[in-house]
Amino acid sequence: MTQANFFLEGEFPYSEECLGNSIHSWLSYQIALNRNYSLAESSINVPFGEYLAQYVSKLELEKELKYFGSRWTDAFFVRRDAVDTPYYFEFKYTKNGSTRNQPEKQRVFNDLMRLNSIDDCNSCKFFLMAGKSEEFMTDFEQLIPGKTVRKNKLPPTNKSPMTVYNSVYNKMFSFDMNAPDRIINVNDPDILNLITGFDKEYSKDYRNNPTVPYAQFSQDISKITTKLVFLSCMGTSARVGMWEITKTQLITI
């Protein structure tokens, strides 16, 4: 008797949900083994690559972006079943309150701006944030004021635990699958500050590059939209969120 082949090629097609669940399961396992010391932004490459191995014809961890000199995106791949659709990913990992700091807020925004600048109309662009569940909530999703959960103390507050604080990350990302789109308001003071920071860091790259298809970035940005495509369940040790950059519009002078 011939053993049945239960895992036929193409039986489990690629999806962002499956990718997110794979990363979430791997991180939860590492946390359960108390391997927090080894978890960081770069460690996301492990479950990311393991899941994609069965689906991609090309995978690059760190790919240079042509408009930003020596700047790189965290991951690039092409699926075997969609060879004309390149995928770009940026990763971040919140740990020890890192995402509370202004430099990390700037880095997150810079990731979105670089992804938004990719002018391939067929491309898919994603931002992924991961971390321990409590830190994801207090240091990224809500930025609850006071001490962070890494001290094992939730900050005292008279507000409901489900209160969503209007942090700068809420201005960039939705955390509600029923309302997944977030159009970034470029007239908001926090966003304007981040735009200024991006311009200061990258202006030499794009203003002096004759191949850039537009003269320069400026504060007159029509739209940058993120769409929540995956958010792991609460109540587990790890939390993963994934957002697609859904509308790429060239930034005008």
pLDDT (tens digit per residue) in 81-118: 877 889 999 999 999 999 999 999 999 999 998 888 78
Confidence at residue 201, expressed as pLDDT on a 0 to 100 scale: 81
Phi, psi of 243 (to 5 degrees): -125, 140
In a domain, 22, yes or no: yes
Confidence at residue 198, expressed as pLDDT on a 0 to 100 scale: 85
Q: What is the pLDDT of residues 14-64, one digit of tens each?
A: 899 999 999 999 999 999 988 887 888 889 999 999 999 889 888 888 776
In a domain, 9, yes or no: no
Confidence at residue 70, expressed as pLDDT on a 0 to 100 scale: 62
Phi, psi of 43 (to 5 degrees): -70, -20
Token pair of 61 as six digits: 């961890």
Beta bridge partners of 59: 77
Between CA 43 and CA 148 the distance in angstroms is 23
C-beta of residue 89 within 8 angstroms of C-beta of residue 74: yes
For residue 193, the surrounding DSSP H or E stretch is: helix 189-207
What's the whole-number average pLDDT of the chain? 79
Structurally, the chain folds into a number of domains equal to: 1
Name the residue range of residue 116's domain: 16-248
Nearest to 172, CA basis, from 239, 92, 73, 66: 92
Strands (DSSP E) along 148-190, which ranges? 181-183
In a domain, 31, yes or no: yes
Between CA 53 and CA 49 the distance in angstroms is 6
In a domain, 1, yes or no: no
Confidence at residue 221, expressed as pLDDT on a 0 to 100 scale: 56
Would you place residue 13 in the very low, low, confident or very high pLDDT band (cuts 50, 70, 90)?
confident
In a domain, 11, yes or no: no
